Amino acid sequence: MIKRTIKFTPIAASVALTLGLTACGSDNDRNIPVTPVESFTATGDAQFNIEVTGKAVKGSMKSAVVTVMTLDASGQSVPVAFRSAASAEAESFSEEALSQNAADAAVEASKIAANPEVLTDESGRYSIYLDDDFTGPVYITVKTSAEGDDSFLRCDAYVGCGDYDVAPEEDDVNDGDTAIEFGEWYKTDLELSVVKFVPAVEADTSGVSGSAGDANVEASYKANVTFLTSLVAALVLDSGSSVDEDAIAKASLDTVVQVMGQDAALLLSAIIGDLSNGGAVDLSDVDGEEELTDGILAIAQLSSSIQGLPSIGDVMSSIKAGIKSGQFKGNADASIAAIATMLQTAITNTANVFVAIATGTEDDIKTALEAAFAAKIPAPTAGEIVAFAANSADVAKKAKAAKDKAVKNGAATDASLAAAAVKVKKALEVIGCTGAECTVGDDFYTALAAALTVEVTASQTALTALEMSIETAQSSLADVQAMGGDALTADNAAAFVSAVTLLKNEATTADLTAKADSIFVKSQGYVTAAKALVTQSSDYQQVLDSATSLQTDASVAVTDTVAYDAALAALVAEAEAAITEFDVALAAAKLVAEDTADVADEKKSLADTAEAASTSALANAENAMVDTAANAAEAKELAMTAVTAASDFAAAVDALEIAIAQALVAANEYLALEGEGAQAMIDALTAMQTAAVAQGELASEQFVTAYNLQLAAETAVAKLEVLTSVKATSESLSTMTVLTGTGADAVADAADILADVIDELAEMGNNSGTGTSTRNADWDYAYSLDDLTLMLSNATTGEMINAAASYEGDKLVVAWGATLKGENDVSVELVTAATQTQALTDCVDFAAGTIDATQIDSCLVFTFDGAVTADNVDDAEIIMTETANHVEIMDGDSGFTGMLSITADDATDSGSITLEGVSGDVDFKVMTTYLDSDMEEASALDITVNNAMGYTLSITGNESAGYTGDVMAMYNEMMMSFGTAAKTTNGLSITYIDGDVVDYTDVDLIDSSK
């Protein structure tokens, strides 16, 4: 704080005194009055206790320059004082100037002048510390340069990050060629940024120390610097207004929805209010500091994908411009839209590769990598293909190792990572938004609140488990503490040293402080996101209350783990002192070596048990059948159990390898003291280590096998669920009148009667007349060849047929209608217009092609080999017959309304029949084509049901060879076969994929011969 003091300096006092004395002299002394020089002093103390820490990743930015500013009321960046370490005590400043404002400003300038240079470490990590009275936005930029410094960027794009100008020397990271490959460091110009809002300290009563447990830190805030935070920072700075939590939350949400879409945004519910709380993951080197949840994995894959594009800077500029204009994907600016398309391809490739990494072998990863390369470069040269293929095996190996390291570091389990990989791939299949999708509404906020609640609940569960672990650790700590102090003697000193070592090893493995800090950082993100929800509606207050409660509880866990670490460090110091005090170096080393070896043996036993459980579970899954719905469901459960068992097996082996490494350290220290039997211990542990590596490989193989079995079972379950609907659809179709022999005969009989009577009347040779048909005694007729009209009626059944015709060039166009009766009281109506005149007008227009089949009722068109009239029609040859009829069929169970269209090509002796409409609740279409080949009719039939399932029954063949085909339906966005069909004497027989054979009788479909 600055203290203002106004005072006279000695010089000023002397001048004032002289002037005062001379003022008493004569007016002739010609003395000139001098105004005293007034000096102002400002003093202040500053203590830098507010920690802002994070990582700069796209991949990791090493030795990058960190710049720290704040933002004024207009959103402009201005300098701010900070330090690279927390203050143990206050710094004092004192400045003097000619005005108080100038003195105050000089003090602030002095604070800023003492700002240190800050560089990121190899993981991109940085930490800065602000004055303890700082509140407001802090603007941080991190920059790597292509030249002039030691900064580097690590490539975490699976298909590479371009090429070196000069190939680096071969080492553990670089393979010595010019390609910048996954995991390699390279020089480039890149600047990322983040805006973090730091609230007043009194608003954060958690009292939590920094992530490193520094007692001098009053409050700690995570501020990761990533691609997404850079976009948010750009939007915030461009707003030209003051920045607060609400402004950052809005910019964060807008950015995620624009770039990733609403579905993917829901995966980021934990950090949606402030993206700097997570997402700083370098896929080439996952340190376990951040859990690979669905949302974090999605961000990591997005970042990785962008790094593989030609220009990161151009991509960022285009996305920023797109977001500001309201739509990144499909932007009116073709160049921005092209970047969006390029990004979609890249992120799809990354997601596909990561699924292979999480669920497959190195060969699977290699295949996915090469497919991604081909998609990235649609027309690669032969040289490019050869070069990438030559390196893809090494890249696959690196990617697999990076995934294994992530699991070993606790970022995920094999099972959770596989599930996340598949879920994220689905979410990223379509990124971004267009139109109304870019505006979030109540439905989105409701879904966001639900997703955030799930996250908070999961973290609360994890915290409960952690608290139990802390209690256990504290109990063990107390037991070991009881061995020290006044109880420590020469007799138990070695045992004390060993107990402390075991406790330290266990603490290192458990890493409770990191876990507590992780949950606390998550809770900060939850609170920020929940506040954004409450801004939308007070209905979400409960979400905020839960998140706040979690944050409070997590802060206690952090405090407890920091205290535990401090107490453990004191014990370690006491143990080291005891070795010297009681001269037990050799005895202690021997006991430590023996005890740590015993721990390794225990871990070995646990790993062996896990191996047996995994092997047994895998055998059960492999023996499971997926031929029926019930069996497939059981197989799925068995496979999921095997996946979990294999994941647990891998975790047990990881714990074993850690214990072996710790035991080897102890054994080598014992060997250094020339301890008896030390070499034998080392040899035994080395052999155990070799066996553990083999177990790890087996665990990986079993996991991949189990996961593939799970996928197969899930596929079978889903297919068999669809199969149930397929069978139901087949059954419904088989019982519809329009597709049975009865219905088909009724429609065909109408045409038979009409043709028969027309032939009879033609033989009579009259131009008009009325009477009763001699061939069909129940039918009366009335006709006129001059008007080309015909009426048929059946007084017994109430049936009727009418027709009106017109010669139109080479066509005879007939408009007709009918009301018919089939067997079992089936009624069939060929619908026609209200008048024959209107019906014929419509049919003429239909024949001319000026209207389509949806605009007519029932028409019959004969096309001849030349122009026809009443005078020459008998001598003309019909070359094509077409009919399109509006048909309504009703029976006791189901009805049909739709169109029946028939085309017959006499020249090729081929034709087609199409029936399309609705029967009951089923909207379907039947298409039949037939061809008389060598006097034997060959035909093809397709029945398609117009529903989401896309049911299709397809049959082809001829009389001698038989009619066979498939029943198809939509599954996983593709058509697949659910059974094979064969025509039988009186219907169809379908053999379904579950082995069921179902015969459908009296299914005549449409008799094309009529």
Q: What pLDDT sits at residue 477?
A: 97
Q: What is the DSSP string of 552-570?
A: HHHHHHHHHHHHHHHHHHH
Distance CA 106, CA 96 (A): 8
- Each residue's pLDDT tens digit, 638-693: 999 999 999 999 999 999 999 999 999 999 999 999 999 999 999 999 999 999 99
Task: Report which of residues 263 and 911 the model is more confident about.
Answer: 263
Query: Could you give the C-alpha distances from 416 to 37, 408, 458, 517, in angstroms and in order?
Result: 74, 13, 14, 21
**pLDDT of res. 53:** 94
In the block, which residue shows the tokens 């027989």?
Answer: 989
- Between 1007 and 150, where is the model more confident? 150
Mean pLDDT of 802-827: 85
Q: DSSP labels for 830-889?
A: EE--SSHHHHHHHHHHHHHTSS-GGG-SEEEEEEESS---TTTTTT--EEEEEEEEEEEE
pLDDT at 64: 97
pLDDT of residue 731: 84
By the 10 Å C-beta count (0-12 exposed, 13-18 middle, 19+ buried), 89 is classed as exposed
Tens of pLDDT along 464-479? 999 999 999 999 999 9
pLDDT tens-digit readout, 244-291:
999 999 999 999 999 999 999 999 999 999 999 988 999 999 988 888
pLDDT in tens, 320-345: 888 888 889 988 899 999 999 999 99
pLDDT at 380 over 80: no
What are the angstrom distances between the C-alpha of 262 and each of 103, 276, 428, 522?
52, 19, 10, 21
3-state secondary structure of 226: coil
Sign of CA dihedral 976, 978, 981, 986: negative
**Ramachandran category for residue 973: left, alpha or beta (phi over 0 → left; psi -120 to 50 → alpha):** left
Across residues 127-156, what is the average pLDDT?
94
Residue 817 and residue 833: Cα distance in Å, rounded? 8
Sign of the alpha-carbon torsion through 167, 172, 175, 180: negative
Residue 935 backbone dihedrals phi, psi, to 5 degrees: 70, 10
Over residues 365-377, mean pLDDT = 89
Q: Is the dihedral of CA 706, 466, 279, 428 positive or negative?
A: positive
With contact defined as beta carbons under 8 Å apart, do 58 and 226 qualify?
A: yes
Please check the confidence at residue 58 and state whether its pLDDT lies above 60: yes
Q: Which residue has the tokens 């610097």?
A: 225
Average pLDDT, the chain: 87
**Closest by CA position to 421, among listed 322, 301, 286:** 301
Token pair, residue 97, equals 């100037």
The enclosing H or E element of 366 equals helix 362-376
Rounded CA-CA distance 87/133 in Å is 13
The answer to whether 380 and 442 are in contact (CB under 8 A) is no
Predicted confidence band of residue 215 (pLDDT cuts 50, 70, 90) = confident
Q: Report pLDDT for 137.
A: 95
Among 304, 345, 62, 14, CA closest to 161? 304
Q: How far is CA 420 from CA 303, 307, 450, in A?
A: 17, 22, 18
The DSSP letter of residue 64 is P
pLDDT classification of 1003: cutoffs 50, 70, 90: low
pLDDT category of residue 4 using cuts at 50, 70 and 90 = very low
- How far apart (Å, rounded) are the C-alpha atoms in residues 76 and 677? 69
CA pair distance 26, 718, nearest whole angstrom = 115
Q: What is the pLDDT of residues 298-313, one digit of tens each?
A: 999 999 998 878 778 8
| Tens-digit pLDDT profile for residues 943-979 | 888 877 888 888 888 767 778 889 999 888 888 899 9
